[in-house]
């Protein structure tokens, strides 16, 4: 490509102006670089008007626009179908190439293929780059060149392959006058102008919010391995929405985790690094097996006979199952758009193993409410909990909601925060209030008996004679 050519960088789930693979490549290869973001109506259609994710993205877009303007450019923000808006904008700006970072979700792959085809028909080039993970696609494979299906050997191979070059920052420093912005372009639309409204979003947003949360977590990371499973404790990073929308750099986070993991107090950082590798594992699975979106990873389990129980599903979704920690988890999700990771496992196990309801319904509920919703991780986590996915453990692992509650919220602090009906219940009954001489009238009795449900689940899976 000629140095004096014009390029367009299409921002998507990478809303930052630093360590950005596509932006860096465009700045290296083009004399003039425009930047754009599209509020894609193909993705926004059907979302509630107070969707917290749209609010988060909008705030991040405004901050990114301001950052690019400070460097002499700006963000061209469109509202419409990205498959139409990007080729149209490329033609209007007469760019030679469009640069974007890869997204491995099936919808994104179809969208990008359509954009690339439209650009090619107009004599323009589409270039995409690895950015949201350290390793992608089939970069981490078995010795036979096949995809891993179990996390532990994948993680071992991932760590063995990692080099400082994989964590090198992409230079996004523009030359004077290199970033461009059309003079007649209107400012970014408001939330209302794209059909949405402000929300009760509490998390710090944008690049600045990601930096704040990262710096805060670094003061606690050495204790992560000991605190991460307790929802009443400030133990996790809270960075997942920023990873989802790319307001932080995965390369920087992995570099920080790896560096801290090699110190004498590095157990917490090592545990967090493992979680970042889990994220990449599920991204790899989705790219290799896009069928997992609607099918079980272990395809023999597509034959499972799940229960049709809309009333039970509604009780689970609304946090009125009678199991306090499950209900607290569900209410946290509805009230904040986030759920603690340990609780995601407990909640998913309860829906699939205690209520016998298809994991796909639970996955869709999380997809509706989670601020950090990411298809690969959400799908992988749900199938892990349901026993149908990538897991070295057999399908007969079934979480007991009471013992999980006793172990991870021993004083019931988290329960009382989200289930105020139980605020005055003594500690000895907080995990099973139905055992009180006089159970609280405002709180429901358990909608299912765990022991009986466990037996039904074992029979449900056992009928398929699945390998263990």
Catalytic residue among 338, 359, 369, 384: 359
Active-site residue flag, 306: yes
Catalytic residue among 84, 136, 211, 306: 306
238 CB-near residues (< 8 Å, 6+ apart): 203, 213, 217, 338
Catalytic residue among 158, 316, 369, 382: 382
Active-site residue flag, 434: no
Active-site residue flag, 272: no
Task: Give the orientation angle of helix 250-261 with respect to helix 267-288, to 10 degrees.
Answer: 140
Residue 7 CB-density burial (10 A; 0-12 exposed, 13-18 middle, 19+ buried):
buried
Active-site residue flag, 278: yes
Catalytic residue among 85, 105, 341, 400: 341
The residue length of the chain stands at: 468
Active-site residue flag, 359: yes
**How far, in Å, are 106, 175, 414, 415, 440 from residue 410 at the CA level?**
41, 57, 9, 10, 19
Catalytic residue among 10, 158, 272, 278: 278
Catalytic residue among 136, 211, 275, 421: 275
Which residues, listed in sequence order, are joined to residue 399 by a DSSP beta bridge?
none
Helix (H, G, I), strand (E, B) or coil at 391: coil
Number of other CB atoms surrounding residue 353 within 10 Å: 28
Rounded to whole angstroms, the Cα distance separating 468 from 465 reads: 9
- In 3-state terms, the chain is what percent helix, strand and coil (to 5)? 50, 5, 40
Rounded to whole angstroms, the Cα distance separating 324 from 35 reads: 48
The residues that are catalytic are 275, 278, 306, 341, 359, 382
């Amino acid at each position: 490509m000629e140095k004096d050519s014009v390029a367009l960088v299409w921002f998507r789930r990478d809303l930052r102006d630093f360590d950005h693979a596509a932006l860096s490549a465009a700045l290296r290869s083009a004399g003039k670089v425009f930047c754009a973001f599209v509020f894609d109506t193909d993705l926004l259609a059907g979302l509630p008007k107070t969707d917290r994710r749209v609010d988060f993205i909008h705030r991040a877009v405004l901050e990114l626009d301001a950052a690019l303007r400070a460097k002499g450019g700006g963000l061209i923000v469109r509202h419409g179908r990205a498959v139409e808006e990007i080729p149209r904008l490329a033609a209007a700006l007469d760019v030679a190439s469009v640069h974007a970072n890869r997204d491995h979700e099936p919808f994104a792959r179809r969208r990008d293929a359509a954009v690339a085809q439209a650009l090619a028909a107009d004599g323009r080039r589409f270039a995409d780059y690895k950015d949201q993970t350290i390793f992608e696609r089939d970069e981490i494979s078995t010795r036979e060149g096949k995809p891993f299906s179990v996390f532990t050997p994948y993680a071992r191979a991932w760590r063995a392959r990692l080099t400082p070059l994989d964590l090198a920052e992409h230079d996004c420093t523009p030359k004077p006058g290199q970033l461009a912005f059309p003079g007649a372009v209107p400012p970014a639309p408001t939330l209302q102008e794209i059909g949405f409204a402000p929300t009760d979003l509490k998390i710090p947003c944008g690049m600045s919010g990601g930096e704040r949360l990262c710096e805060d977590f670094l003061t606690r990371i050495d204790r992560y391995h000991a605190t991460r499973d307790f929802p009443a404790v400030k133990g996790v990073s809270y960075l997942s929405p920023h990873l989802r929308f790319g307001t932080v750099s995965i390369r920087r986070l992995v570099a920080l985790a790896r560096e801290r993991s090699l110190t004498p107090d590095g157990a917490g950082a090592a545990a967090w690094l493992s979680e970042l590798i889990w994220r990449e594992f599920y991204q790899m699975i989705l790219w290799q097996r896009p069928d997992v979106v609607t099918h079980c990873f272990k395809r023999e389990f597509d034959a499972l006979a799940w229960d049709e129980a809309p009333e039970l599903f509604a009780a689970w979704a609304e946090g009125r199952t009678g199991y306090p920690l499950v209900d607290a988890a569900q209410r946290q999700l509805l009230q904040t758009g986030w759920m603690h990771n340990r609780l995601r496992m407990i909640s998913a196990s309860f829906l699939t193993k205690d209520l016998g309801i298809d994991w796909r319904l639970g996955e869709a509920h999380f997809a509706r409410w989670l601020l950090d919703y990411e298809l690969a991780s959400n799908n992988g986590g749900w199938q892990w909990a349901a026993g149908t996915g990538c897991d070295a453990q057999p399908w007969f692992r079934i979480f007991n909601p009471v013992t999980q509650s006793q172990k991870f919220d021993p004083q019931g602090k988290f329960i009382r925060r989200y289930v105020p009906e139980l605020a005055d219940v003594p500690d000895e009954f907080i995990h099973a209030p139905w055992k009180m001489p006089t159970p609280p009238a405002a709180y429901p009795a358990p909608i299912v008996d765990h022991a009986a449900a466990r037996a039904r689940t074992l029979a449900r899976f056992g009928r398929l004679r699945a390998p263990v």
